[in-house]
């Protein structure tokens, strides 16, 4: 009761007290909503890129001599898979 007198709420009408409580509750909800929204957005922020690890060329831009793909091995693999596919269709 002393707190109510000190804050001046003791002299307010019941409807005014309820209105003040609802307003405070609404402000708390808005603040909590903003905090939740910031937390959700934080997962969509990309990590900072380091200068030394940027890739300037993609694998398509590289010349064939520096490419790490063995073309002959790839050709054999494709032929083998095509052969298996044909055998499956025949049976």
pLDDT in tens, 16-70: 888 989 999 999 999 999 999 999 998 888 888 887 655 555 555 555 555 678 8
pTM of the model: 0.40
The tokens for 7 are 């804050």
Q: Is residue 23 part of a domain?
A: yes
Count: domains in the chain: 1
Per-residue pLDDT band at 8 (split at 50, 70, 90): confident
pLDDT in tens, 77-91: 999 999 988 888 887
> CA separation (Å) from 74 to 10, 60, 69, 80?
85, 16, 8, 10
Range of the domain at 21: 13-45
Q: Is residue 81 part of a domain?
A: no
């Amino acid at each position: 009761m002393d707190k109510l007198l000190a804050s001046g709420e003791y002299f307010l009408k019941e409807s005014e007290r309820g209105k003040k409580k609802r307003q405070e509750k609404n402000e708390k909800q808005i603040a909590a909503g903003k905090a939740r929204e910031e937390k959700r957005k934080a997962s969509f922020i990309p990590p900072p890129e380091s200068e030394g690890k940027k890739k300037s060329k993609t694998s398509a831009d590289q010349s064939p001599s520096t490419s790490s793909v063995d073309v002959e091995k790839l050709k054999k693999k494709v032929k083998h898979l095509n052969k298996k596919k044909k055998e499956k269709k025949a049976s």
